[in-house]
Amino acid sequence: MTTLAVSPITARKHRRLSDQGFITVMVAVVAVLLFLLASVLVPNFFQLQNMINLVTNNWAVISLGVGVTFLLVSGNFDLSVGGNVALAGVLSVWLAQSTGGANTLSTGLGFPLPLALAGAMAGALAIGALNAFFVVRLGVPSIIVTLGTMMVARGLAQVITHGSQRNTNLPDGFGTLGNLTLFGTVKLPVVLMGMLLLVAVFIERRMLIGRVTYWVGANPVAATLSGIDRGRHVTRLYLFSAAIAGMVGILLASEFKSGFSNRGMLMEFDALVIALLGGVAIAGGFGSVIGMFFGAIILAVVTSAATGLVLSPDWQFILKAVAVFLAITAQTWALARRNR
Amino acid sequence: MASSTQIPALEIDELTRDYPGVRAVDAVSFAIEPGTVHCLVGENGAGKSTLVKMITGALAPSAGSMRVNGKTHNPTNPQEARDNGIATLFQELHVVDELTVRENLTLGLEAKRFGFLIRSDLDDRVVKTLAAIEPSIDPAVRVSSLSVAQKQIVEIARAASSGASVIIMDEPTAALSEREVERLFEVIRRLKDNGVTVIYISHKLEEIFTLGDIVTVLRDGKHIATKPLVKVEGRPELIEMMIGRTVAHNYVPRPNPPGDVVLTARGLTNHLLKNVSFDIRKGEIVGFYGLVGAGKTEIARAIFAADSYDGEIIFKSQPVGHTPKDALAAGIALVPEERRTQGLFTAMSIRENIPVMNLPRMSKGGVFRADKEERAAHEFVSRLRIATDSIEKQTEKLSGGNQQKVVLAKCLFSQAELLLLDEPTRGVDVGAKTEIYDIIKSLADQDNTVAIFSSELEEVLGICDRIFLLYDGQLRAGIRNGDNVDTAQILDLVTGGSMQEDAA
C-alpha cells in the first residue's frame, strides 16, 4: 500500500488541465477558427477594426452575461435581465425629464441627474430583490420566477412610456455617459464592460465568494450541510446581476437619449446563449466568465459573417440555432470522451 | 398444519448471489408452504433484500434455483416474476391518486375493443376480491381520498386479483398507525384463508409473533433456520438466531476518563422522534444504535440544526442556533448519511472539497487562500491515507472508502469539537473501515467528542464507550460498553422488546 503513495511534489507536476480549463480553451479555439473561416469566406472580414467591433458592438450582452454566468454556475437562471435593461433605462429618463412638458410623454419628475440615475438603479435592484425573494424564501424554481419578473420589468417600462418612448425634455448632461469616448475612440460602456470582466474573473478565480458560487451550484444540499448560507449567497448574485442590468439600461438610455420600453428585447436569451456556448453548465457548478466571453465572440462572428455573406437578416436566428446546437453537442461529447 | 405431501408455494434451492468481494446470499435453501404467512428476519445486511430481489426478478442469482408451485421459477425481470404469480408490495405505493379504486384495480388489465375501453367480467372479479379482503372500501371512490393504509390494501387487492399466489410484503407497517396495523393484519389473515401465501419481512418482532406461521432466519447471507413460530421460545431464541452467539467484540476501554458534559439534549420531538433526552461528555465516543427508521439520522440532523424540532439542545452551555452554519460555528460538524448526495461535491476535486466547512480560515480580506487549500489537501491525503495519484482527482472517481475519507477530511478541517458521523462506514471496504475507526479513536484521544449513528451493532460495540439504543423514535436505553454487554438484550430493545432485566 505504501508504495502507492505519491509524494506531493510529483502529484503537483502531473496536474492536468482541469475540465474547466479544457472547455474554456476549446471554446476559445473554436472562436478563433470560426473567425478565420469567416475571414476566408467573407470579403473584408479579416480587419482589425472588425475584430474590435465584434467585442464593442456586444458590450451590453457581454456585460449581462457576467451576472447570468455567475447565477448559472450557482444553479439558477436569470431571465429578467433584458426586461430590467428596459426598466432601468425608462426610469432614468422619466425621473430626469423636467416637469411641465407639452404632453405626458415629455413630462417627467424633474429629479437632478444623479438622483434620477440612483432611482433607476434602485428600480433595477428591486427586480433583483424580487427574484431573490421568490427563489430563496419561497423556493420557486428560478426559471419561473425570472420569467415572471422579466415581464414585470418590461411591463412597468411599458406603463411608464405608454408603450412607446420618452426622449424629450431631458437635461443637457443626459447623453454624456453613453457617448463619452476614452482613449480616442473607445466608448465608456465598452471600458466599463472591460473592467467588469476583469473584476468578474478576479471574483471567480481568486475570491472566496467565487468558490462559494461553485459549491452552491455543484451540490446545494452538501453546501447547506457544510454550513454555507446558500440563500444569502444567491440573493447577492441576483442583486449583482440586477445591478449590471441597471447599469446597462442607464448607459443605453443615455447613448440614445431615450427611454424605450422595447430596449433589451431578447437580451436575456442572448446572454443565456453566450453563457451556454461558453461552456457554462445549465445544471450549475461548472463554467467560467472567460468561457462566456468567447461564447459571445462565437455568436458575434456567426451573426456578422452571415450579414457579410449577404444572407438576409431573416436567416440570423437559424444560424444562431445551428451554432448553439453544434457548440453544445461538441462540448458534451468532448467532456464525455475526456472523462471516459 | 401443512402436510409434507403438499407442493410448496415457493421452493428455494442453494440460491447464491455474489457481489464483488461479498457473498450476499450464500447457498440458501428453504421451502414456503402454501397458504401460510412466512416471515423473513435478520439483521441489516443479513441478505433479506438480496434474496427478495432474486425472487422478484430484480436480480439474477449467481447460482441455485427456485420453483413456484413445483414449476421452475427463473425470472429475468420483475414482469416474469409477476407472470409466475409472485407479487410485491413495495414500501412506496404504486397507486394512481386521480383514478377510482376500481380503475386502479384494473389498471393495465383493461379490456379493449377498437381502442375503446369496455366493461368486462374482470371488473366484477376485482371488486369481489376487494370485498373479500376489505369490504369497507368503496370501489367507486377516488384513491386520493383513501388513507395510506387503505391504499396499501388496494394494492394488495390488485395483487391478489391478478392471480398472485405469493405476495411479498417488505416492512408494510412502517407508515401505519397501530389501528391500521391491526386492519392490515386482518386483511393478511383473510388472504391466507383464500389460499394466498404471504412472505412477510419486518424488523418488528412482535408483528412476527402475532402474524406469522413460520419464520426463516438469515444471518450473514446464510440460512440459519426455518421453523414454525409456535416452536420458537419467544424473542430471546429468535434474537439469538438472528445475531448468533458471537458478536465480534474488540472494544478496548480508552485510558482517559470522559470529561464534563459537553452536549445536552432534552425532549427532542419531531415527526419521528419522541421525547429524546441524553448527555454527551467531552472526549467520549458515543453510539446511537437502532434499526432502519429508528430515528438515528433525525437525532444527528437535529443536533446539527439541519432539521427543526421541539425540545432543546445545549452545546457548551449555549443553545445551538437554527442552521447548520450556526452549528458549525459552535464547533459541531456532520458527516451525513448519504455521502454522494449530501457530503461530497462529486464533480469537484479532492482539493476543492476539503476547505468548504471552514470558510473563515480560507479567506483573507475576501481573497480565497489557494495556498492553504493546496496544503490542506496534501496534508489530509497523507494523514487519512486517501488512495489517489493526485489531489486534483475528481471525487466522483474515488472508491466509496476514499470518498468517505474526503468527507471526513472536510469535517476535520472545520476543527469541530463534536463530530457527528451518520453511518460512517456504509458501503466502505473492510480496509478503509478499520482506518476510519482508527481515525475516530485518535480524535477522541485528542479530547474531541464523537457521536456515531449506526445500524451496525458490530460497529458500535467495536468503538463506542457508551451506546444509546433507539426504537421507533424513542431512546430506549443508554448502556456503557464493556465485556458484560448483553447483545441479545440490545437486539431485544431495538426491535421493540421491553427490558427484561436491569442493564449493567
Q: Which residue of A has its CA nearest to B343?
A: A222
Residues B184 and B119 in one domain: yes
d(CA A55, CA A187): 12
Residues 6+ apart with CB under 8 A from B68: B9, B10, B11, B84, B85, B86, B165, B166
CB contact under 8 A, B366 and A227: no
Pick from B348, B357, B362: CB nearest A226: B357
Domain boundary among B196, B216, B243: B243
State the pairing for strand pair B318-319/B367-368.
unpaired
Q: Are B153 and B263 members of one domain?
A: no
Report the pLDDT value the prediction gives residue B156, as an integer from 0 to 100: 86
Q: What is the pLDDT of residue A158?
A: 96
Same-domain pairing of B476 and B493: yes
Residue B83 lies in a domain: yes
- Min Cα–Cα distance to chain A from B357, Å: 5
The domain tally of chain B equals 3
Residue B338 located in a structural domain: no
Write out chain A's pLDDT in tens, 340 residues.
333 444 444 444 344 567 788 889 989 999 999 899 989 988 888 888 888 899 999 999 999 999 999 999 999 999 999 999 999 999 999 999 999 888 888 889 999 999 999 999 999 999 999 999 999 999 999 999 999 999 999 999 999 999 889 999 999 999 999 999 988 788 999 999 999 999 999 999 999 999 999 999 999 999 999 999 999 999 999 999 999 999 999 999 999 999 999 999 999 999 999 999 999 988 889 999 999 999 999 999 988 887 777 677 778 788 888 888 887 788 788 777 766 6
In a domain, B5, yes or no: no
Q: Which three cell numbers stand for residue A194?
A: 472591460
Instruction: Enumerate residue ranges in chain B where pLDDT < 70.
Output: 1-5, 21, 91-92, 108-112, 117-121, 245-249, 499-504
pLDDT for position B86: 92
Residues B222 and B254 in one domain: no
Q: How far is B218 from chain A (nearest CA, A)?
A: 35
Which helix (H) or strand (E) segment holds residue B377: the answer is helix B370-383
- What is the C-alpha separation between B170 and B93, in angstroms, rounded? 12
pLDDT (0 to 100) of residue A116: 96
Does the distance separating the beta carbons of B390 and A15 come in below 8 Å?
yes
CATH number of the domain bearing residue A188 = 1.10.3470
Q: Distance between CA B410 and CA A166 in Å, rounded?
A: 56
Crossing angle of helices A230-256 and A59-73, in 10° steps, is: 170
> Of the candidates A4, A214, A222, which has its C-beta nearest B387's C-beta?
A4
The verdict on residue A282 lying in a domain is yes
Chain A residue nearest residue B354, CA to CA = A226
Q: Which of residues 220-259 of A touch B (CB under 8 A)?
A: 221-229
Backbone phi, then psi, for B213, in 5-degree steps?
-100, -45
Q: Do A36 and A43 form a contact (C-beta atoms < 8 A)?
A: no
The verdict on B237 and B295 lying in the same domain is no
Give the number of C-alpha atoms closer than 13 A to the C-alpha of residue A234, restricted to the C-beta side.
29
Facing B368 at nearest CB: one of A211, A228, A286:
A211
Residues of chain B with C-beta less than 8 angstroms from the C-beta of A339: 394
Chain A residue with minimal CA distance to B323? A227
Q: Is B269 on the interface with A (CB under 8 A)?
A: no
Pair (B321, B280) in one structural domain: yes
Distance from CA of B378 to the nearest CA of A (A): 6
B339 lies in some domain: no
Would you say B393 and B399 are in contact if contact means Cβ atoms under 8 Å apart? Answer: no
Are B429 and B349 in a shared domain?
no
Q: Is the Cβ pair A206, B368 closer than 8 Å?
A: yes
Are the beta carbons of B368 and A210 separated by less than 8 Å?
A: yes
Interacting residues of B383 by C-beta distance below 8 A, sequence separation 6+: none
- Identify whether the C-beta of residue B485 lies closer than 8 Å to the C-beta of residue B479: yes
Same domain? B409 vs B425: no
Interface test with chain A among B297, B308, B325, B382, by most A beta carbons within 10 Å = B325
Q: Write the CATH number for B306.
A: 3.40.50.300
Which one of B363, B368, B410, B435 would you mutate to disrupt binding with A, by most A Cβ within 10 Å of its Cβ?
Answer: B368
B59 lies in some domain: yes
Domain residues for the domain of B473 are 250-331+416-504
Which pTM was predicted? Answer: 0.80
Residues 16-45 of A with CB under 8 A from B: 16, 18-19
* A209–chain B Cβ distance below 8 A for any pair: yes
**pLDDT (0 to 100) of residue A122:** 98
Written in H, E and C, the secondary structure of B457-497 is HHHHHHHCCEEEEEECCEEEEEEECCCCCCHHHHHHHHCCC
B274-312 burial code (b ≥16 CB/10 A, e <16): eebebbbbbbbbbbbbbbebbbbbbbbbbbbbbbebeee
Domain membership flag for residue B2: no
> Measured between alpha carbons, how far is A87 from B68 in angstroms, rounded to an integer?
72
Distance from the A11 Cα atom to the nearest Cα atom in chain B, whole angstroms: 5
How many whole angstroms separate alpha carbon B284 and alpha carbon B446? 10
Please report the ipTM that was assigned to this predicted complex: 0.86
Number of domains composing chain A: 1
Question: Are residue B137 and residue B191 in the same domain, yes or no?
Answer: yes
- Are B390 and A227 inside 8 Å of each other by CB? no
Residues 354..393 of B with a Cβ closer than 8 Å to A: which?
A: 356-357, 359, 362-363, 366-368, 370, 378, 381-382, 385, 387, 389-392
SS (H, E, C) chain A: CHHHCCCHHHHHHCCCCCHHHHHHHHHHHHHHHHHHHHHHHCCCCCCHHHHHHHHHCCHHHHHHHHHHHHHHHCCCCCCCHHHHHHHHHHHHHHHHCCCCCCCHHHCCCCCCHHHHHHHHHHHHHHHHHHHHHHHHHCCCCHHHHHHHHHHHHHHHHHHHHCCCEECCCCCHHHHHHHHCEECCCEEHHHHHHHHHHHHHHHHHHHEHHHHHHHHHHHCHHHHHHCCCCHHHHHHHHHHHHHHHHHHHHHHHHHHHCCEECCCCCCHHHHHHHHHHHCCCCCCCCCCCHHHHHHHHHHHHHHHHHHHHCCCCHHHHHHHHHHHHHHHHHHHHHHHHHHCC
Has residue A267 been placed in a domain? yes
CB neighbourhood size of A249 (10 A): 33
Answer yes or no: do A227 and B359 touch at CB < 8 A: yes
Report yes or no on B484 lying in a domain: yes
Residues B423 and B468 placed together within one structural domain of the fold: yes
Q: Which of B414, B443, B462 is the last residue of a domain?
A: B414
A11 → closest Cβ in B359, B362, B389:
B389
How many other C-beta atoms lie within 10 A of the C-beta of residue A271? Answer: 32
Domain residue limits at A156: 18-332
Give B-chain residues touching A18 at CB under 8 angstroms.
349, 392
Is the domain of B358 the same as that of B389?
yes
Has residue B307 been placed in a domain?
A: yes
Handedness of CA B95, B99, B104, B110 (dihedral sign): negative
